[in-house]
Amino acid sequence: MSGPGGALADRPVPPVPPVGWLSTAALGCVIVGGILIASYAPRPAPLLIPTVLTVLAYALMVTALVLLSRIEGFAWSTFVRLFRWALLAYVVMSGMIEFAFVHDHTRGATLTEVSLMLVIFALSVPTTIAFTSARYADA
């Protein structure tokens, strides 16, 4: 072992697309949109900016998943194992957030917008966690 990181620091890491950055940017979009919507509660929120942010988040997330699917020699077993557990946790959190909005009598287009944002929330963090770990694992 040489260096502070030992053997892992000496191992070359192949270049990968910016999946983690894209999924994190998607998360940022839905967080900002969600804060905008929540700041109006219990009044109806204007949905133009949150809708634009949600569409951007979906575009970023789809791009991240497409790029992820094209990585050769990727540690898919590690990715799937981590993704499943993180997804379980974030689906539970998303359900709790959704419940809070329903409990506060959020209805119609606003609730639909929040639900669409929560889908990205539930997918982006597990994708980032699993990708970041699996990119350093042996395939």
Cα–Cα nearest to 65, from 27, 33, 18: 18
Confidence at residue 4, expressed as pLDDT on a 0 to 100 scale? 57
12-49 confidence digits (pLDDT tens): 667 889 999 999 999 999 999 999 998 987 788 899 99
Overall pTM surpassing 0.85 (yes/no): yes
Instruction: Spell out the domain ranges in the chain.
Output: 18-134
Summarize pLDDT for 46-93 with one digit per residue, the tens: 999 999 999 999 999 999 999 999 999 899 999 999 999 999 999 999
pLDDT of residue 7: 57
Position 1 scores a pLDDT of: 44
Sign of CA dihedral 13, 16, 21, 24: negative
